[in-house]
Amino acid sequence: MRRLLKVVHLGRSPYAEVLELQRNLCRQRADGLQPDDLLLLVEHDPVFTLGRGTRPGSLPVPAEALHARGAALYEVERGGDVTFHGPGQLVGYPIIDLTMHREDLHWYLRELESVLIESLGLLGVRGERSQGRTGVWVGDRKIASIGVHVKRWVTLHGFALNVSTDLTWFDLIVPCGLPGVRMTAVAAEGGAPSTVDAVRAIVAPVFARRFGLAPILTEAGTLRPCAAVPGA
């Protein structure tokens, strides 16, 4: 029997709340208190996040200017440079125990790319890799960003797929630290359907199949009561 993947739909949720949830679930998974891999799927209010690889020039706009436009700003432990999350974007946070799959971070990143490329194909968009650059592209345009962290071989953070995102938010940064990069979205490329809910319904089963797991929809409320780990 295949192992389970708990798929959790968080709807539109604040970034800080979901960040704390995934950190707690990561600890639980590593400690054996959470028996199954998870995939958290969410849409965030406008927020910019700075990964460990963020260059000084990647965020040319002062934090105060971002706050004035209604966007939050967080420094986080994931790899990669600065990126944006916001309405119209499907964000996925896999909490995966790689000891049950393959203890290879590069393999994991390529698998995430494969999940997104396959999902885009089902939407009528031809996604592809770009040599030496993590993420998924449509020609010379980037449609999905990936930035992860692994703790005791359990993953957190993940991917962001632009569905109907307001791409002008990316004009405030150097997305992923790539000067001149052009961002795009499923809707901009003529993909259908192009709503976050519809795309979420496609990505979740593709992810489960790619990792050899059986997806089971799990209510967020069943996770939150046990989110805090004593002594963590």
Q: Which amino acid is at 2?
A: R
Three-state DSSP class for 3? coil
pLDDT at 225: 43
Q: Tell me the HSE value of 156 on the side-chain side, using a 13 A CA sphere.
A: 19
| Residue 223 pLDDT class (50, 70, 90 cuts) | confident
Q: Which residue has the higher pLDDT, 55 or 113?
A: 113
The pTM for the full model equals 0.94
Mean pLDDT, to the nearest integer, of 193-210?
Answer: 97
pLDDT at 227: 38
Mean pLDDT, to the nearest integer, of 23-31?
Answer: 96
Residue 173 clears pLDDT 70, i.e. is over it:
yes
Poorest-pLDDT segment among 54-63, 116-125, 151-160, 207-216: 54-63
pLDDT at 178: 83
DSSP character at residue 107: H
Q: What percent of the chain has pLDDT over 70?
A: 96
Task: Give me the catalytic one of 59, 123, 176, 185.
Answer: 176
Phi, psi of 207 (to 5 degrees): -60, -50
Q: What is the pLDDT of residues 72-101, one digit of tens each?
A: 999 999 999 999 999 999 999 999 999 999
| Residue 161 pLDDT class (50, 70, 90 cuts) | very high
Residue 166 clears pLDDT 50, i.e. is over it:
yes
Phi, psi of 168 (to 5 degrees): -65, -20
Which of 42, 88, 44 minimizes the C-alpha distance to 191? 88
Domain layout of the chain by residue ranges: 4-226
pLDDT at 224: 53
The whole-angstrom separation of Cα 215 and Cα 232 is: 28
Mean pLDDT, to the nearest integer, of 13-42?
Answer: 96
Query: Longest C-alpha distance within the chain, in Å?
Result: 52
Q: Which fold has domain 4-226?
A: BirA Bifunctional Protein; domain 2 (3.30.930)
The whole-angstrom separation of Cα 120 and Cα 187 is: 11
Mean pLDDT, to the nearest integer, of 186-196?
Answer: 95
Which of 103, 104, 173 minimizes the C-alpha distance to 145? 173
Q: Confirm whether 176 is a catalytic residue.
A: yes
pLDDT at 102: 98
